[in-house]
Copies of this chain bind each other. A is one copy, B any other.
């Protein structure tokens, strides 16, 4: 996959994830304001997994247009709120975790190289 395809596929993953987060936000709001609708929405969203955000929204539009429009508005709001910070956050996250993995692996290897020279010896009697 080239750079453009990866960027496009990643965009789809983020859109679907923000749709899932929008569903969670609307669910939390409804639990306060309209418990019977929250119950219905929880059951609906349990049946339709929010794996592909657009497929989920099409199903919701067919069953409850008002909720679908609300989820769409919330996800648009979410993307506007968080996207600007994300490049820096993801870059930092991956660099930091890579460096942690490398450090831990080096520590493991250096412990092994301390243990290994004696590994063929019988346990010393105390």
Contacts and interface: CB of A to CB of B under 8 A. Distances in A.
A9 interface: yes
A21 to B, nearest CB: 5
User: A interface, how many residues as a size bin?
Assistant: 35 or more
Identical chains bound together, number: 2
A63 interface: no
B15 A1 contact: no
A106 to B, nearest CB: 10
Interface in A22-75: 24-25, 53-54, 57-58, 61, 65, 68-69, 72-73, 75
Interface of A: 1, 3, 6-15, 17-18, 21, 24-25, 53-54, 57-58, 61, 65, 68-69, 72-73, 75-76, 78-87, 89-91, 93-95, 97-98, 101-102, 104-105
